[in-house]
Amino acid sequence: MTTVEPVADTRTRLLATALRLFSEHGVEGTSLQMIADELGVTKAAVYYHFKTKSEITEAVAEPGIRELDELVVEAAKHRRHGARVDHLLDGFVDLVVRHRVLVALFSSDPGIDAALAKSRHGVEGFKQALISIVAGGPEPDVTARVAAIVAFTGIAMAGGAPDLAEVDDETLRQELIGVGRRLLGRPRRRVC
């Protein structure tokens, strides 16, 4: 073990491996040792990057949470209400579909929640921001708020649903956008 390891790359591979093992065995059923074995490194090498499984779980979820934050900021820049809603819906569906495995883990794994207080906070902040964007104002009416919550939580849950795991990304994306537009009162459009 005298070669210098490319540290950043090991970290990336470690997180990808952890996510795969989490989705196969659940967060609770995955040990640091299993991650090390799968990567072909020692447990010490895993420890070099992460001290606990919670740190790994947080790091696995972090890019998705950051993208959620950025999405809300970008969507809010549009002047027209319709453009804001479209931006938010398209971006959210895209994010959910790209991170399907992670979303599935979030919505189904009993072990991930406890480890993710920080991320839950991020998700909560996102929810507040999207409700105010979609419902359009500081005092949105109940109908608009209910539609916004059903649309975005429903899309996230469907994106991670095992029942839809065999649906390909592009089909799922179009279906979720279709459902979202119907719920949020946006006109139909052709998806190019």
| Interacting residue ranges for a second copy, rule: CB under 8 A | 28, 109-111, 113-114, 116-117, 120, 127-128, 131, 142-143, 145-147, 149-151, 153-155, 157-158, 161, 163-164, 167, 171-172, 175-176, 178-179, 182-183
**Least distance in angstroms from the C-beta of 173 to a second copy:** 11
Q: How far is the CB of 170 from a second copy (least distance, A)?
A: 11
Residue 36 or 72: the one with the smaller Cβ distance to a second copy is 72
- In angstroms, what is the minimal distance from the CB of 84 to a second copy? 19
Q: 28 or 38, CB closer to a second copy?
A: 28
What's the min distance (Å) between Cβ of 55 and a second copy?
Answer: 17
Q: Tell me which residue has tokens 């959620």.
A: 68
DSSP at 51: S
